[in-house]
Amino acid sequence: MAAHWTLNDLPWDRFDPTRVDPELLRAVKAAALVEHNADDYVTYLCNVFADDAAFCAVVRQWGVEEVQHGQALARWAQIADPDFDPALALRRFTENYRLPLEATASVRGSRNGELVARCVVECGTSSFYSAIRDVTEEPLLKIIAAKIAADEFRHFKLFYDHLQRYQRNQPLGKLSRLRVALGRMQEASDDELAMAYWCGNGCQGDYDREKQSAAYELRASQVYRFGHIQRGLAMAFKACDLNPQGWFSRGFGALVWRLLQWRQRRLAAIAAA
């Protein structure tokens, strides 16, 4: 990989406290913890791909960049909210949420499936940070989100290229790839983001996965515009070897957009309960 930006490259003096959206801040705190937890994903992926030295090498560099994303977001959040303690929040998060680090085979059933799932994650993160970049009025966060979004688009290509390599040797069918992709999308409401949201925002009250997941998803989903959803889904379709610009992709994007708007109303009720 080419030389990567560092925290010192960010213009921290451009922070404008009057432009901070407190609701978006809560979502950023959670995202910082998830990004910072990338070392566990590196361990898991290097276990699954233990005999693939080339892939493990790029995954380790990927992990370094993901951790840096978490550090940048955490530093911004701490500037925006001096009461936020990133180290304490991260410790609480890692104590309560762990990946299956002992696994030596992919939980997706195959290495191809694992790479499809990683592509889907990068589709989601690239879309999410692009959406934050476009919606936030705070100058520093806009810059940080733009840099992270660019990294995530590049990370998608990294996993996609290795997926293509594995597909040449032992292909995984389109339907199987689509099944993995849809399954990974559904995991957006699992414990990881819910726990990160709870730990990032002070562990207030007892942990309730459904309520915390709804609170995070509600705040995070509000940054999206239709174009972000459409582009992210097009990337996911590409990973499944489906036409990213075809009628099915466009129709599915429109359906997801309508479902997102409906789900926001439902999530608001759950989070407020």
* 100 vs 56, more confident: 56
| pLDDT above 50: residue 83 | yes
Query: CB-based contacts of 46: which residues, under 8 Å, 6+ apart?
Result: 56, 59, 60
- Evaluate whether 136 touches 144 at the Cβ level (below 8 Å): no
Q: Which pair of structure tokens corresponds to residue 212? A: 């915390």
The pLDDT confidence band at residue 68, using thresholds 50, 70 and 90, is very high
| pLDDT above 90: residue 240 | yes
Average pLDDT over residues 154-173: 96
Residue 102: per-residue pLDDT: 84
Q: How far is CA 107 from CA 101, 123, 209, in A?
A: 11, 20, 22
Q: Which pair of structure tokens corresponds to residue 250? A: 């466009």
